[in-house]
Amino acid sequence: MANSRFPAAADRGVLQKCLSNSASSPFGRLKRSASSKEEASVPGRVRVAVRLRPRNAEELKADLDFADCVELEPELHRLKLRKNNWDYETFQFDEVLTEHASQKRVYEVVGKPVVESVLQGYNGTIMAYGQTGTGKTYTLGRLDEEDDSNRGIMIRAVEDLLSGISLKDDCVTVSYLQLYMETVQDLLAPEKENIPIVDDPKMRDVLIPGASVVEIRDHKSFSELLKSGEANRAVANTKLNAESSRSHAILVINVRRLVSEAQEKSSPSDQGFLVPTIRRSKLVIVDLAGSERIDKSGVGGSSLDEAKSINLSLTALGKCINAIAEGNSHVPIRDSKLTRLLRDSFGGTARTSLVITIGPSPLHRGETSSTIMFGQRAMKVENMVRLKEEFDYKSLCRRLEREIDKLLVENERHTKAMIGAEDLQRTYEEMAANQNVKHQKELKELSSRLHAVNVDREKLQLQLRDSQIEVQLEKELGEEINRRLELEAENKDLNDKVLQLQNEVNEMQRELEQMRSGYQCKADKSHPVQKMTQNSNGQNRSKSTIVKLFEQVGLQNLLALLKSPDEDVQLQALRVIANLAADEAHQVKIMEGGGLSLLLDILRKPKNDSVCGIVAGAIANLAMRELNQVRLVEEGVIELLVIIAHKAQDPQTLRMVAGALANLCGNGEIQEKLRSEGGIKVLLKMGESQYLDVQAQVARALANIAKCESKRALQEYDARSLLIEEEALPWIVEKAKDCAEVVHRHIEMALVHLAQNECNAEVLVNSGAFTELVRISHECMKEDVRSLAYRVVCASPVLQAEFLRFSSTSPGE
């Protein structure tokens, strides 16, 4: 029957005849494509990375007086192994990872290239080798569910594999084994012991048919699997490692990916035929047990037998690598089960990445040297990386059979439909003719009725439109009258409040002028340097008045007064805004309301020094908030402040400009911008002022710069200070010797922070600043500054040497 599972004999014969025609059938081309597809081999050297473990507590105590036996140069991919205090050997590796390298960084350079290769269809191996206790298991199998950043290569590799495949069509399976005392054991099924190893000559690889194979769908299930496997692994407590691995752990991850490739198309009938291709790749992650010396590890009994077995298998692995590297015709692969399991990793078809782990202690220099030489020999091994894929003919056949059945059903349905097509056509034509006559009559009747309705509707619309226009005009007129009355009332209230504010501000100005004149006379008698102050009672009265005005008028009305053509009104509004900017809550409102743009417009075209000083004070208050500092710099505040500083003569204006720059200096991200736009130069120029308040703000700015640089120095910042580059050190030293207390406390902090950067040490000694540092460490009134200065002098080799020389030349002090 036509609708059976298979086509009728006649139809099936025709189909077979068509499909068997190799000149036009897709099957013919599929066959030729399959026969012409060859496995291409690509050379791939074994990549070797070296990772240094930091000193542990015992090594810090035992090797306190000895330097590390290795010196790393990661930027040159080079390692130096000390022979003695004056000689060393140099070795080159693909990657050199310091003791500070993160687990993510290790995976990126060691594991990720291999994982990406596995996703492309190549076999891959990631292996860790080194002395016991140097961090091999930490590097590969670390789980750490509390902190994801400490996870090892195994977890990260599986996450990348699962994210790189389609869970619908692809498959990832895992086996977890250990080689203990030359027997292969299943860590996922501990009852399976002494599992045999079988060679597969067809795939040129080895198989472990008795091992458990578990399919994984997400990284969480893999973590549980890995945790259960680690619980079954053989470990022991030795002198070198509290949890020393006593077996070689081998994680085997098989990846099966379905890839569809478009075949050659020579005619339109071939369109849409895709050949499914299966890529089978394998990722092997090997955590080798650590090599150890019996006299150092202190093992005995069964642990001694374990150590002997581990050393023998590692020796066999080293012999195989030596033979492959030297090009020997015979490679002793069958000397150990470990070398049989890794036959594809060294000299085979896998892309291999090896990480060797070493420790810094000079007590284990021999083991470190042996590990380094193992890595050097492994770098000479060349593998022939081969893509492993095959065509999925069964899937293709099933798909084509479904396509044939579908076409046969469609053909049968179309045949039945054609039988009654003519009868249906005749019936339809007769019905259509009758309906056409009836519709014509109805259409004429409806057209006449519709015309009458349209005429009536147009008349009604004209009447309605006239009445709506009159109502709308009356409504709009009333609203306009009310709006004008409200605006007139608001304008009157605002003028009254501004007049009241002017009277209060004028009164405050008179009081401030009286206080300044009285203080000026007193300062002339006591000290030649002038200093500007403000009365606290006047400030409190001014602040209460400003807050009261802000609540009554509102921020937007105050900002609108900044555009007033009346200079007095504009000046009073500027003072109010400047005082409001001292409050963080008001700062946000000023920045969001466009106050910064208005202030900068006034500063670009200032009318007098008083306006410049008030605007600079407002900017100084806004710069106290770190979130505002980057925007201030982007708007060009530094350039405007530098211009005002060069032109200003008024001490109040200079103090406000210096204060604004000092607040910006506290942000390390914009210090280079300050330097390039002349901010540091203009600070030094203002530092020559005779006013103490101006000098104090300059000293605070330099102290902020030095403080930010000292923080970066703790993060391997190795450049000299901007203050030294901009020749600010002579001014600092001069003020450190003789200045008022308000300036001196900032100068001391600047010197101490400069000394925290070792790159500044020699310049501090040559400039005479070292003497002031010693004085600060002994005589400073602030205990925290005095203690910090003492620690800095003791921590710097250059300053410590200068201190010893200074002490020897001045024994009486």
In single-letter form, the type of residue at position 292 comes to E
Q: Which residues pair with 493 in a beta bridge?
A: none
131 is in an annotated binding site: yes
- Residue 36 Cα to chain centre, angstroms: 46
| CA torsion, ordered 162, 168, 171, 174, to nearest 10 deg | 60
- Residue 560 Cα to chain centre, angstroms: 44
N- to C-terminal Cα separation, the chain: 118
For residue 782, the tally of other CB atoms under 10 A from its CB is 13
- Residue 454 Cα to chain centre, angstroms: 70
CA–CA dist 578, 599 (Å, integer): 10
139 is in an annotated binding site: no
Backbone angles phi, psi at 212, to 5 degrees: -70, 140
Q: CA gyration radius for the chain?
A: 43
Per-residue tokens: 720: 């000299």
Strands 244-245 and 235-236, by their bridges, are antiparallel
CA–CA dist 804, 808 (Å, integer): 6
The DSSP element (H or E) to which 185 belongs, if any, is strand 183-186
The DSSP element (H or E) to which 280 belongs, if any, is strand 274-287
CA–CA dist 34, 390 (Å, integer): 8
Cα–Cα distances (Å) from 42 to 33, 327, 343, 478, in that order, read 21, 18, 17, 88
- CB-CB contact of 653 with 603 (8 Å): no
183 is in an annotated binding site: no
Per-residue tokens: 474: 């009356």
SS3 172: strand
- CB-CB contact of 255 with 172 (8 Å): yes
CA–CA dist 752, 589 (Å, integer): 38
CA–CA dist 644, 622 (Å, integer): 18
SS3 178: strand
Share of the chain residues as helix, strand and coil, in percent rounded to the nearest 5: 60, 15, 25
- Alpha helices per DSSP H over 333-420: 337-341, 365-378, 393-419
CA–CA dist 628, 586 (Å, integer): 13
DSSP per-residue string spanning 128-154 = EEEBTTSSHHHHHH---SS-GGG--HH
For residue 566, the tally of other CB atoms under 10 A from its CB is 12
- CB-CB contact of 694 with 655 (8 Å): yes
Per-residue tokens: 805: 């020389």
Per-residue tokens: 543: 């602040």
Nearest one of 328, 310, 309 to 319, comparing CA atoms = 328
136 is in an annotated binding site: yes
132 is in an annotated binding site: yes
Per-residue tokens: 538: 């006047």
The DSSP element (H or E) to which 70 belongs, if any, is strand 70-73
Tokens 């990720």 found at: 112
CA–CA dist 531, 652 (Å, integer): 10
List of residues 6+ apart from 685 with CB closer than 8 A: 645, 646
Backbone angles phi, psi at 752, to 5 degrees: -65, -45
CA–CA dist 200, 523 (Å, integer): 99
SS3 545: helix
Please report, in range form, the residues annotated as the binding site.
130-137
Residues annotated in a binding site for ATP:
130-137
